[in-house]
Amino acid sequence: MNENLKRMLSVLKIDSNLRIRLDKIFDQQSPVTRIDLRGYERGKKLAVDKEDLYVLLQISKQIPTLQELVLLGDALDNESAILISKALPNIPSLTALYIEGSGIGDAGADAVFSTLEEFPNITTIYMHGDKITDRGITDIARSITRNRNICALSIHSRLIGESGLSAIASFLPLGSLKQISVECPTVGDATCKLLGQMIAENSFLQGFALKADSIVNAEALMDGFRINSSLTEIVLSADNFSSSVASEVEMITKDICTRNAQGFFQVLVEKAMVELRERLGLKTHALDQVWRARVIDMMRTLPVAAQGIVDADADRMEHSHSP
């Protein structure tokens, strides 16, 4: 660790457990690619205050290999989010940003997402703020349509209502999201239908998660899941689900993910065969060996939801003598 970083770390007033974690990150020999200050003690989230945030952002600017930055703290608010947005252009290696603060609202979220439109390297954004309203969600949805680099989005707020969810359903098909996660209080009947339609029509969507106190029309969402053949990760959870409904939702979504993963696996197999046959020209024993190794590597890249298929097929392929 160089002296400049050591000096900046010494200024932080963070919890001792987090200080130990940071020290380990910077003392390791390999390049630093992730700074994660998430921490829990006796069930309470450890906070990063504004002064610590400023220092952490200055530290982040000094790390040319930094790819993921996790900034969570109850003290973080709109001013904090704006400070983060101003620092982003000075961290060009960053690809994933995680922000959570009880005081973050529309102004903070807008500052971050507006900056991301001019900062194409970030592909994953996690924005959780207790004060983000429908207006903020609508602005975020519009921003996503203008930033086709963002592939994974997570938005949580207790103030998201029907108009905010409708904005997500209406605007997001115009973007390039492959993963989306939303947590909110209530999802009404009309919004469930609109979201179900969006899910059905977007073949690029691979992961969808929706958690709420109440989901009024789960079946409309399930209809969308059944039509979409690219989804391999689905989470649908609501406090108003009875145990029988929750079990049915889990069973159906698992079946859908498994079916789609099998289809995805077949596509990978065909791509591997075409590429290898073009390169080698002959179907020899050597080709078989290369092909098996290539397919096994591809299977290991499948989503976690398909892991059962991956394990079974990888085992079968390793003991097979021909494609």
pLDDT bin (cut points 50, 70, 90) of residue 321 is very low
Summary mean pLDDT of the chain: 78
Looking at residue 102, its pLDDT comes to: 85
Q: Which of 191, 187, 275, 267 is nearest to 229 (CA)?
A: 267
Phi, then psi, of 100 in degrees rounded to 5: -145, 130
| pLDDT tens profile 121-130 | 899 999 999 9
Going along the chain from its start, the domains and CATH numbers come out as 3-256 (3.80.10.10), 263-318 (no CATH)
Do residues 222 and 199 lie in contact, with contact meaning Cβ atoms separated by under 8 Å?
A: no
Least confident piece of the model among 96-105, 134-143, 187-196, 275-284: 275-284
| pLDDT tens profile 79-93 | 999 999 999 999 999
Least confident piece of the model among 77-91, 278-292, 300-314: 300-314
CA distance readout (Å), 321 to 272, 281, 282, 293, 315: 16, 19, 16, 12, 12
Least confident piece of the model among 64-68, 150-154, 284-288: 284-288
Q: Which of 220, 223, 244, 225 is nearest to 235 (CA)?
A: 225
Comparing 185 with 315, which gets the higher pLDDT? 185
Looking at residue 318, its pLDDT comes to: 41
Do residues 291 and 272 lie in contact, with contact meaning Cβ atoms separated by under 8 Å?
A: yes
Global confidence as pTM: 0.75
pLDDT bin (cut points 50, 70, 90) of residue 260 is confident
Residue 218 token pair: 């789960």
Comparing 149 with 187, which gets the higher pLDDT? 187
Residue 135 has pLDDT above 90, yes or no: yes
Do residues 257 and 225 lie in contact, with contact meaning Cβ atoms separated by under 8 Å?
A: no
Comparing 90 with 262, which gets the higher pLDDT? 90
Share of the chain above pLDDT 70, in %: 68
Phi, then psi, of 320 in degrees rounded to 5: -90, 150
Do residues 269 and 296 lie in contact, with contact meaning Cβ atoms separated by under 8 Å?
A: no
Looking at residue 298, its pLDDT comes to: 59
Question: What CA–CA distance (Å, rounded) separates 147 from 225?
Answer: 25
Which ranges of the chain would DSSP assign to H, the alpha helix? 3-11, 16-27, 50-61, 78-87, 106-116, 134-146, 162-171, 189-201, 218-227, 243-280, 285-299, 307-318
**Mean pLDDT of the 296-306 span:** 53
* 3 state SS of 220: helix
Looking at residue 62, its pLDDT comes to: 82
Looking at residue 64, its pLDDT comes to: 86
The alpha carbons of the chain give a radius of gyration, in whole angstroms, of 22
Question: What CA–CA distance (Å, rounded) separates 242 from 234?
Answer: 19
**Other residues' Cβ atoms within 10 Å of the Cβ of residue 280:** 13
Do residues 276 and 249 lie in contact, with contact meaning Cβ atoms separated by under 8 Å?
A: no
**Mean pLDDT of the 87-105 span:** 91
**Mean pLDDT of the 124-138 span:** 93
Comparing 171 with 93, which gets the higher pLDDT? 93
